[in-house]
């Protein structure tokens, strides 16, 4: 990234508190570095941008960076969350209306498109637009003109369109729910936001940032997470991406215990039942099944013991087995035999 763009990012961080520093936004993964370079090239060009990726990956932040690194950064940045506005109201919200256009329209009102004049209009989750609105948006992209509801004449605006979606629009086109010509209009330049599981090397940086941010915001003094918990965070599959990580750290800062994080980081069933298989020779299905069952049983027992603060009698009642059977299983699984080993087991729970 050029020094001019880097300086712009720094000044942006100072003026907009909701956007993290450059090192946090882009991290160090190859995919995010490619995104940063692409962003630097397209920021100054007044062309539509399509940002695609899973929910929670930070598409909103990238849209704001596209605007704030462009020549139109002094203009407004207007966001429209398409799924949050009912379809019957979205047209008037986007394009505005004239007095008397419908019952209750006692005066004229500009829409979000008009409000974004000489700035950027961010359409989040654009796949949620119904077909008639897609047609009006296509007209705006083609000639920069739109028409308020109930108006007789078109209005002209200068606005950059930035769109985001967590769906594959090519599939929506095949399903008949998205216009192909509109797709070509908004997809002049596309930016892909990789999921957090594809940029695990950035997790430590994100954790450190969120920890500092929410300690300051809530006037708390939560400690840095332990290396054991960081290892768990690195292995987790993150279905909610960065948003999920942010919420976990926020909860940790407020409640002050790592248990509130580790309790939400349960492995997927596919992770629990995924023994290492050597395909170089014969495979014993019975042996692999036995190994997977023992590993799963060990993890369940360890979790229950931890939840009962290593009270083995309560754990046996929860597991609906005898106290003697639990002692045997603890010994057979190689788990710590008594309360004195509780802290070691607690660390092991986080590592598992």
- CATH 1.10.8.60 residue ranges for the chain: 198-265
Q: Which helix (H) or strand (E) holds 119?
A: strand 119-124
Q: Which of 60, 59, 57 is nearest to 197 (CA)?
A: 57
Question: Where along the chain do the CATH 1.10.10 domains lie?
Answer: 276-352
Class at the top of the CATH hierarchy for domain 3-194: alpha beta
Could you read off the pLDDT of 78-87 as tens digits, one per residue?
999 999 998 8
pLDDT at 13: 38
Residues facing 162 on adjacent strands: 49, 122
CA angle, residues 24, 25, 26, in degrees to nearest 5: 95
**Chain segment 231-241, per-residue pLDDT in tens:** 889 988 898 99
Q: Is the pLDDT of residue 350 over 80?
A: no
Question: Which residues have CB under 8 Å from 111's CB, separation 6+?
Answer: 92, 93, 94, 95, 96, 97, 146, 148
DSSP output for 322-334: -HHHHHHHHHHTT
pLDDT tens readout for residues 128-146: 999 999 999 999 999 999 9
Q: Cβ(278)–Cβ(287) under 8 Å?
A: no
The pTM score is: 0.70
Would you state the pLDDT for residue 272? 47
Integer-rounded Cα Rg, in Å, for the chain is 26
- Phi, psi dihedral angles at 123 (to 5 degrees): -100, 100
Residue 318 has pLDDT above 50, yes or no: yes
Domain 276-352 indexed as CATH 3.40.640: no
- Please provide the DSSP assignment of 50-83 as one string: EEEE-TTS-HHHHHHHHHHTSTTTTS-EEEEEGG
**Contact predicate 253/214, CB 8 Å:** yes
Fold category of 198-265 in CATH: Helicase, Ruva Protein; domain 3 (1.10.8)
């Amino acid at each position: 990234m050029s020094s001019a763009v880097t300086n712009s990012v720094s000044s942006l961080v100072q003026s907009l508190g909701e956007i993290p520093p450059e090192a946090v936004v882009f991290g160090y993964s190859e995919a995010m570095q490619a995104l940063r370079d692409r962003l630097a090239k397209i920021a100054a060009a007044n062309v539509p941008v399509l940002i695609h990726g899973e929910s929670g990956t930070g598409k909103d932040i990238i849209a704001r960076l596209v605007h704030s690194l462009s020549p139109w950064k002094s203009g407004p940045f207007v966001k429209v969350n398409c799924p949050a506005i009912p379809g019957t109201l979205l047209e008037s919200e986007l394009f505005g209306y004239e007095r008397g256009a419908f019952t209750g329209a006692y005066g004229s009102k500009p829409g979000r498109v008009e409000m974004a004049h000489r700035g950027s209009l961010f359409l989040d989750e654009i796949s949620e637009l119904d077909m008639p609105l897609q047609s009006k948006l296509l007209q705006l992209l083609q000639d920069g003109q739109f028409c308020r509801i109930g108006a007789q004449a078109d209005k002209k605006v200068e606005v950059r369109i930035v769109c985001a979606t967590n769906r594959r629009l090519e599939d929506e086109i095949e399903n008949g729910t998205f216009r192909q010509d509109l797709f070509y209009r908004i997809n002049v330049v596309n930016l892909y936001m990789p999921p957090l599981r594809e940029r695990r090397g950035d997790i430590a940086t994100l954790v450190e940032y969120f920890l500092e941010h929410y300690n300051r915001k809530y006037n708390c003094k939560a400690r840095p997470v332990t290396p054991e918990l960081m290892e768990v965070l690195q292995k987790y599959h993150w279905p909610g991406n960065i948003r999920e990580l942010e919420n976990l750290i926020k909860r940790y800062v407020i409640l002050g215990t790592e248990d509130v994080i580790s309790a939400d980081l349960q492995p997927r069933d596919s992770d629990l039942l995924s023994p290492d298989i050597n395909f170089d020779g014969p495979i014993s299905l019975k042996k692999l099944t036995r190994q997977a069952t023992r590993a799963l049983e060990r993890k369940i027992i360890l979790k229950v013991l931890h939840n009962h603060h290593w009270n083995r009698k309560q754990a046996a009642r929860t597991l609906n087995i005898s106290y003697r059977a639990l002692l045997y299983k603890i010994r057979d699984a190689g788990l710590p035999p008594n309360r004195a080993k509780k802290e070691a087991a607690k660390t092991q729970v986080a590592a598992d």
